[in-house]
Amino acid sequence: MKWNYLMATVLTALLLSGCTWKASTPPATKPGLEAIRFDNATPRDVLLAGRATFEKSCSTCHALPTSEQVNRFATDEALVTFGILMTRHMANLDDEAAEKVIRYLLALRHDAAP
Residue 77 backbone zone (phi > 0: left; psi -120 to 50: alpha; other: beta) = alpha
Residue from 101, 106, 107, 113 binding ligand HEC (CB under 6 A):
101
For residue 83, the minimal CB distance to ligand HEC (Å) is 6
For residue 75, the minimal CB distance to ligand HEC (Å) is 14
What one-letter code names the amino acid at 9? T
Burial of 75 (0-12, 13-18, 19+ CB in 10 A): exposed
Residue from 37, 55, 62, 78 binding ligand HEC (CB under 6 A):
62
Q: Are 28 and 81 in contact (CB under 8 A)?
A: no
Give the binding site for ligand HEC (CB under 6 A): 54, 57-58, 60-62, 65, 69-70, 72, 83, 86-87, 90-91, 93, 101, 105
